[in-house]
Amino acid sequence: MQNGIVKWYNEGQGRGIIVSVDNRKEIPVTHSGIAGDGFKVLFEGQRVTFDIMETSRGTTAVNVEMCGEE
């Protein structure tokens, strides 16, 4: 798992960007990449952990989980 910070997330579009703490790389994230069931949303500045998956559309964050209280 990697650590990151949510750069932005558009709830209406269900997508956003996470910046990796380790290498400052921007990783796209979609609603389906957020861990859990039901309503899922990320907030700008929120600390998260995530895995990276290579897809036919490029790199994406998966298994995204929030870290503690923000």
Q: CA 46, CA 25: separation in Å to the nearest integer?
A: 16
Residue 70 confidence class, pLDDT cut points 50, 70, 90: very low
**Number of other residues whose CB lies within 10 A of the CB of residue 36:** 9
Query: Which CATH number belongs to the domain containing residue 38 in this structure?
Result: 2.40.50.140
Residue 3 confidence class, pLDDT cut points 50, 70, 90: very high
The DSSP line for 10-35 is ETTTTEEEEEETTT--EEEEEGGGB-
Domain count for the chain, please give it: 1
Range of the domain at 9: 2-66
For 12-60, the pLDDT digits (tens) are 999 999 999 988 999 999 999 999 888 889 999 999 999 999 989 899 9
The whole-number pLDDT of residue 38 equals 84
